Amino acid sequence: MDQKQIEEIVRSVMASMGQDVPQPVAPSTQEGAKPQCAAPTATESCALDLGSAEAKAWIGVENPHRADVLTELRRSTAARVCTGRAGPRPRTQALLRFLADHSRSKDTVLKEVPEEWVKAQGLLEVRSEISDKNRYLTRPDMGRRLSQEAIDALKSQCVMNPDVQVVISDGLSTDAITANYEEILPPLLAGLKQAGLKVGTPFFVRYGRVKIEDQIGELLGAKVVILLVGERPGLGQSESLSCYAVYSPRVTTTVEADRTCISNIHQGGTPPVEAAAVIVDLAKRMLEQKASGINMTR
């Protein structure tokens, strides 16, 4: 898609919103003319790729007293700051960015992790009782249980009674898995093995919920289960991964307070490699204390 096509899309969107596309206005050259605020440029009039770094760094405050302060603030956070206002309403660029980020978040929830990607990583793939994405979103209870085919596959192909079992699941963000996998799983497995721990066979659970790790741990006899799962995406942040670790999980007795969670694992939060080191240390402490969640001593 070239710049002209992007501008046409922007114009059609703005027309549907009942707004005119601002055009650059040449500054007045008449003597004595009062200084006027510069008219919005093509960049300010939303002719940007809304997913580009330039669009994310856009500052919508007109005639700022300290432009350098706004620039520094904008660089320091991914939050929606320095977007400016048009009267009581957000500026068009800010609104379109909001809608674009919202669409991106919806897309990553609805996308599937490609089967080819799972095979390329050499992972065994199993499923919960869910058969499609729509049912996954509407029946979370079924995402907490393994299918019978998955149970049979794990019993026949996985190491039994490991110290630590690592599980990967798509959760609510497929991007979180595919974007962070190579930087978190290899160092995590290497760190666990270097610590002298018996590590189970890592595998991928499609349509899994957090509590599915309880059944996995009980089925395989794992002392510690580590679930790496895609977080529910925020606006513009669809690559955030979470780690849920639990000691000696049981389907009937393990509750949410028994889990230890490390969230916000991505390049803009806790770097995946750093998170891997933290998870290794966490697993060692769980095995030492024979506890997890609120039962661990700090």
In this structure, what token pair is assigned to residue 225?
A: 């289960």
Query: 115 among the known binding-site residues?
Result: no
**E strands along the chain, which residues?**
85-86, 89-90, 124-127, 164-169, 203-206, 224-230, 241-247, 259-265
Phi, psi of 192 (to 5 degrees): -65, -40
Beta bridge partners of 242: 229
For 10, which DSSP code? H
Helix and strand tally (H, E) in the chain?
Answer: 10, 8
Encode 244-274 in three state secondary structure. Answer: EEEECCCCCCCCHHHEEEEEEECCCCECHHH
Please spell the DSSP secondary structure of 24-64, one letter per residue. Answer: --PPP-STTPPP-PPPP-TTTTT-S-TTSHHHHT----SS-
The answer to the question of whether 261 is labelled as a binding residue is yes
Closest CA to 243 of 278, 268, 194: 278
Whether 37 has a binding-site annotation, put simply, is no
The dihedral built from the CA positions of residue 254, 260, 169 and 153, taken in this order, carries a sign that is negative
**Cα torsion angle, 203, 204, 210, 214, sign:** negative
3-state secondary structure of 164: strand
d(CA 298, CA 294): 10
Which segments are annotated as binding site? 210, 231, 261
Residues that constitute the known binding site for adenosylcob(III)alamin: 210, 231, 261
